C-alpha cells in the first residue's frame, strides 16, 4: 500500500482554496497560469481525497480536513489481516524446556498454546524467566503450567484495524497479540482458533512501508 503524498502544486491549490473559497476552477487556473484541462487531474485527486468539496455553479471549498488527518484515516483503514504474520504455536503438553528452545530457534518473544485446534494460552519471555529463576525442572513441567489462559488473553481479529491492534499492544505493554477467529468444537462450545499474530515488529514494518 502507498500512502497519499500531495505534490507541491496540489498543496498550493489547497492554500488558494482556503484563502479565496468559494473559488471556481477557472479562477484557480488563472492564478496558477494553467489551463483548466491541466488543472483537472489535481482537482480530481483533492476532491476524491475529501480535502476539497466541489459544489456545482458555486466552486471549490476547503473541507477542513487537514492533510495529516488523511494520513491518519489511511492508517486506520489498514486491517489486521493485511499485516499479520505467522504465530509460533505449541501444544499444551510441550515441556517448558522444549518451548524455550522453540522460542530461540524461531527468534520470537511470545509462544502461543493450543489444544485440539483451540487457543488456550500464551507464554512470553517474562514467563520463561520467572520459571528459570525457580528450582523447577523445566524438562518435566508442561507449558500449560505457566501460561496465561483464556479468557485472560488480549487478542485481535482480521477485521480490526491495525491502529486498534497497536493500541492494545501499547496499553498492555506486551510484545504481541494473537489474531483469532471463532469456531465451535464437536460439543458445540464456542472457542477461538489462532490464525496469526500482530507484534511490535508488524507495526514497525507497517510504518516503514508507509514511509518508503
The answer to whether 87 and 66 are in contact (CB under 8 A) is no
**Cα–Cα–Cα angle for 198, 207, 154, rounded to 5 degrees:** 20
48 shares its domain with 106 = no
The answer to whether 194 and 112 are in contact (CB under 8 A) is yes
pLDDT in tens, the chain (212 residues): 344 567 788 889 999 999 998 999 999 999 999 898 888 888 887 887 778 888 888 899 988 765 555 556 667 788 999 999 999 999 999 999 999 999 999 999 999 999 999 999 999 999 999 888 877 889 999 999 999 998 899 999 999 999 899 989 988 889 999 999 999 998 999 999 999 999 999 988 888 776 66
The pLDDT assigned to 87 comes to 97
Residue 1 lies in a domain: no
Residue 131 lies in a domain: yes
The answer to whether 156 and 196 are in contact (CB under 8 A) is no
77, 93, 115 - which closes a domain: 77
129 shares its domain with 142 = yes
Full residue range of the structural domain in which residue 61 is found: 8-77
Q: What is the CATH number of the domain that holds 62?
A: 1.10.10.10
- Number of structural domains (the chain) is 2
Amino acid at each position: 500500500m502507498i500512502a497519499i503524498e500531495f505534490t507541491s502544486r496540489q498543496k498550493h491549490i489547497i492554500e488558494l482554496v482556503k484563502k479565496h473559497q468559494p473559488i471556481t476552477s477557472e479562477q484557480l487556473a488563472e492564478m496558477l497560469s494553467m489551463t483548466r484541462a491541466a488543472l483537472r487531474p489535481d482537482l480530481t485527486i483533492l476532491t476524491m481525497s475529501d480535502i476539497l468539496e466541489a459544489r456545482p455553479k458555486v466552486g471549490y471549498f476547503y473541507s477542513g480536513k487537514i492533510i495529516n488527518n488523511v494520513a491518519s484515516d489511511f492508517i486506520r483503514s489498514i486491517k489486521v489481516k493485511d499485516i499479520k504474520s505467522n504465530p509460533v504455536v505449541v501444544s499444551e503438553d510441550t515441556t517448558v524446556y522444549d518451548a524455550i528452545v522453540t522460542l530461540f530457534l524461531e527468534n520470537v518473544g511470545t509462544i502461543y498454546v493450543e489444544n485440539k485446534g483451540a487457543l488456550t494460552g500464551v507464554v512470553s519471555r517474562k514467563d520463561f524467566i520467572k520459571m528459570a529463576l525457580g528450582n523447577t525442572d523445566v524438562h518435566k513441567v508442561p507449558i500449560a503450567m505457566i501460561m496465561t489462559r483464556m479468557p485472560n488473553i488480549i487478542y485481535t481479529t482480521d477485521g480490526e484495524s491495525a491502529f486498534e491492534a497497536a493500541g492494545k499492544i501499547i496499553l498492555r505493554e506486551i510484545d504481541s497479540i494473537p489474531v483469532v477467529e471463532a469456531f465451535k468444537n464437536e460439543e458445540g462450545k464456542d472457542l477461538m482458533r489462532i490464525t496469526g499474530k500482530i507484534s511490535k515488529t508488524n507495526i514497525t514494518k507497517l510504518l516503514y512501508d508507509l514511509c518508503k
